[in-house]
Structure 1
Amino acid sequence: MQKLLIIFFAAALISCGNSSKPSGKDSTGKEEHTDGHGHEEDIVEITAAQARTIGLQTAEVQKRSLSGAIKVNGMLDVPPQQMLSISTPFGGILRNTQLLEGYWVRKGQVIAEMEHPDYIQLQQDYLETKAQYGFLEQELERQQELSKENVTARKTLQKTEADHRTLKVRMEGLRQKLILMNISIPNLEKGTIIRAIPVVAPISGYVTKVNANIGKFVNANEPMFEIVDTEHLHAELTVFEKDIPRLKIGRKVRFVLSNETEERTATVHLIGREIDADRTIRVHCHLDREDREMMPGTYLKAWVETGAMEVPSLPDEAIVMEGDKYYVFIAEEEANHFKRQEITTGVSGNGYTEVRLPDGTPANARFAVKGAGDLMAAMMNSGEAGHAH
């Protein structure tokens, strides 16, 4: 008895499902639109009366001369030559510095002092070599005079000349090393030997990194500080590949920093020549007004002016936004049947917007240019009711 009840209940469900589901063909054998299956869920149908009520009109895509702006993201950055790591060519102990991150320093300012016995030895070597060079220079002059009178052997003169050249090279090498250490040669030649060498800021800017503390031994060429000159910031924009043809050097850029509401301006200065893996390029823009208070790494939103160009477009009211996507409605062969199609948009102006249609869209396709918003509303309402039309 229980088995018979189960079989009867299953048969009733199958019968109910078949009776409530359309067969997919009408009485003439033609295919009908089904509800919620495949692409048919993007089809909306209205009556002729509804079309008249909403003032439905269709038109083909036309090319128009539009001028607009490309919306992009980016960040403030500094040229490599305006971001410097400070180090010394000779290792030593950091004996003094007052720097902290955020300090402003000017070009030529002493920002730290280093100590090491080798510094003293180099100064000593230079002074000793200079003294020897002075003596040898006098000896060379004497040998040259004796050679003229055939008093000294030619070999002796040649040896003196060789020693003179060797000592001159050594003295110049020591001199250049002392210059790299920011040691004053005139003061040293007066007999002033210093034990601590100064570390000098090569540019003006803000200290962004402090990598050493007092008493630490710092190896040669090891970065101790990083200084950024924020007076020459630029805007580095990320532009998608599809928008590359619209970029031109000299075009104006409007941008807003993520931590501000004030709109600033810049000018396109350089356009990258390599497309990244994410199909974007880098665009370098010079700021029209420098501002030392702006910080590198700040994110921004920008609009790059594109100028006028012929692009396929539709009236603004033909394009409907749902969520973060844009749609148009393409007229089907059957009257008052429309297919919703997702698109991407470009520049806008004078009531028209550039449209980029997917491949395979018929060239003579007609689009709802009036009443598109009503079609979207009808589709959404029918979706809520569980019906596609």
Structure 2
Amino acid sequence: MKKRSSHIYIAVILLVAGMGLASCGSKKAPATAEKEQGKEHDHEEEPNTVTLTPEQFKTAGIVFGLPEKRDISSAIKVNGLLDVPPQQAVSISVPMGGFIRQTTMLQGMPVKKGQVLAVLENMDYIQLQQDYLDARSQLEYASTEYTRQQELSRENVNALKTVQQAKATYESLQAKVKGLREKLNLININTAALEKGTIQRSINVYAPISGYVTQVNVNLGQFVNPADVLFRIVNTEHLHAELTVFEKDIPRLKIGQPVRFTLANETRQRTATVHLIGREISQERTVRVHCHLEEEDTQLLPGTYLQAMIEAGAAKVQALPEAAVVNFENKAYVFVKDTAGADSTFHFKMLEVQQGSSEQGYTEVTFPEGVQPKEIVVKGAYDLLAKMKNSGEEHGH
């Protein structure tokens, strides 16, 4: 019985010792764990970088190249609007105030030159006509008196002073009649009819040009002053494109350059020609460029917003093959070889560039200031972009 108890005791000791060894074997030293974690971090790629193994590099067919100076037809992208020449947009006022007694004008109505836009009434119109008739009668008397005094002077009957007074009165009334006649003509009163005894109580306001009514600022019974704008008429037969060009693009502008533009409410492209280039830079560092439309369209509206491309001709620019430039999140990039890392893998970094015009398989690129990479991926850039995206998705999960 004693012998059996000792055997049981020895078995328990061996079992406990075995469990302790197993527990020690399952734990790693802190230093070893940290070292392995460091190795895992070493394999994580930095943002906008791609790493390829030699096999992946060979499969992608990566080819390096450098920017080249090439002749590329460049276009200047600008904004602008449709406008009319100053002589084709008229603000209509009256030189003498009055009450609006009649008008049928509405915005958008077509009008012809000479058409009656409104009828005005004012007591002052009647008074002005009376003044004219009075001055004209006095002028007739002054003219007769001056002639009589001249004849008497030749016969030495009267004094020279009397002749001079008669002359001054005559010339003063003559100037007064001329002035009143011009005032009457300004308010469209027919002086020929007035001289026959017809006095008008109202005046007409006529359209000075043909076009469309764009503003109506009056209503019946309203009193308007000379400073008030009653109507605005615009002739849309000779619209032009007014473009806003930034200062840096001004040296590339020339008279006669073709322009392609699209209106904000259209998809079809229209054409124009550069006609005038502004000679003053605004505070926004821009210049106004006046362009004539190749095809007139009276249905177009002044003030319509447009986007245009001015064909500036070919110029030598820094260019890369189109396959070298990739678009990612609405920005243009190229991949450049990164010398980081001493292992056998290939490292690439994505560099943002400004993309310009493209022609014959090449596209204009501008690198960040002070940056001029030497080894640029000109073939296989899209494969690198795809791998970078896939890597980003895996890290996201």
Q: TM-score range by the shorter chain?
A: 0.7 to 0.9
| Distance change >3 Å, CA 73–CA 227, structure 1 → 2 | same
| RMSD of Structure 2 on Structure 1 (CA) | 2.6
Distance (whole Å) between structure 1 residues aligned to residue 162 and residue 38 of structure 2: 118
> Which residue of the other structure, out of 67, 87, 91, is the alignment partner of 1:85?
91
Are 1:126 and 2:132 an aligned pair? yes
Are 1:375 and 2:381 an aligned pair? no
| Distance change >3 Å, CA 325–CA 277, structure 1 → 2 | farther
Q: State the shift of 1:163 in Å.
A: 0.9
One-letter code aligned to 2:102: N
Other structure's SS at 2:395 match: coil
State TM-score, norm by structure 1.
0.86
Distance (whole Å) between structure 1 residues aligned to residue 204 and residue 35 of structure 2: 92
Q: What's the counterpart of residue 343 of structure 1?
A: 353
User: Pairwise mapping of residues 287-326 of structure 1 onto structure 2 (< 5 A)?
Assistant: 287-326=293-332
> Which residue of the other structure, out of 358, 366, 387, is the alignment partner of 1:356?
366
| Distance change >3 Å, CA 195–CA 376, structure 1 → 2 | same
Distance (whole Å) between structure 2 residues aligned to residue 104 and residue 231 of structure 1: 12
> Could you give the per-residue CA deviations for residues 284-323 of structure 1, whole angstroms, max 9, x where no partner exists?
2111121111011222222211111111111111111123
Distance (whole Å) between structure 2 residues aligned to residue 34 and residue 274 of structure 1: 55
Q: What's the counterpart of residue 332 of structure 1?
A: 338
User: Pairwise mapping of residues 62-211 of structure 1 onto structure 2 (< 5 A)?
Assistant: 62-211=68-217
Q: What's the counterpart of residue 10 of structure 1?
A: none
Which runs of 5 or more structure 1 residues have no equivalent in the other structure?
Answer: 1-12, 25-31
* Contact 2:74–2:315, Cα closer than 8 Å, also in 1: no
Q: State the shift of 1:232 in Å.
A: 1.6
One-letter code aligned to 1:376: L
One-letter code aligned to 1:267: T
Q: State the shift of 1:216 in Å.
A: 0.5
Q: State the shift of 1:245 in Å.
A: 2.9
Are 1:239 and 2:245 an aligned pair? yes
Q: State the shift of 1:283 in Å.
A: 2.1
Which runs of 5 or more structure 2 residues have no equivalent in the other structure?
Answer: 1-29
| Distance change >3 Å, CA 241–CA 356, structure 1 → 2 | farther
Distance (whole Å) between structure 2 residues aligned to residue 355 and residue 75 of structure 1: 29
One-letter code aligned to 1:133: L
> Could you give the per-residue CA deviations for residues 124-169 of structure 1, whole angstroms, max 9, x where no partner exists?
1111111111221121111112111211110000011111121111
State TM-score, norm by structure 2.
0.85
| Distance change >3 Å, CA 129–CA 225, structure 1 → 2 | same
* Contact 1:90–1:221, Cα closer than 8 Å, also in 2: no
Matched positions, count: 364
> Could you give the per-residue CA deviations for residues 187-246 of structure 1, whole angstroms, max 9, x where no partner exists?
222222111111111121111111110110111220111111111211122334443332
Other structure's SS at 1:282 match: strand
Distance (whole Å) between structure 2 residues aligned to residue 46 and residue 274 of structure 1: 55
Distance (whole Å) between structure 2 residues aligned to residue 210 and residue 16 of structure 1: 84
| Distance change >3 Å, CA 94–CA 19, structure 1 → 2 | farther
State the percentage of identical aligned residues. Answer: 54
Other structure's SS at 1:386 match: helix
Distance (whole Å) between structure 2 residues aligned to residue 249 and residue 219 of structure 1: 44
Instruction: State which structure, 1 or 2, has the greater radius of gyration over its C-alpha atoms.
Output: 2
One-letter code aligned to 2:370: G
Distance (whole Å) between structure 2 residues aligned to residue 244 and residue 45 of structure 1: 44
Distance (whole Å) between structure 2 residues aligned to residue 114 and residue 16 of structure 1: 99
Other structure's SS at 2:250 match: helix
* Contact 1:68–1:349, Cα closer than 8 Å, also in 2: no
| Distance change >3 Å, CA 302–CA 148, structure 1 → 2 | same
* Contact 1:61–1:366, Cα closer than 8 Å, also in 2: no
| Distance change >3 Å, CA 353–CA 261, structure 1 → 2 | same
| Distance change >3 Å, CA 323–CA 270, structure 1 → 2 | farther
* Contact 1:127–1:189, Cα closer than 8 Å, also in 2: yes
> Could you give the per-residue CA deviations for residues 14-39 of structure 1, whole angstroms, max 9, x where no partner exists?
x9888645698xxxxxxx79644xxx
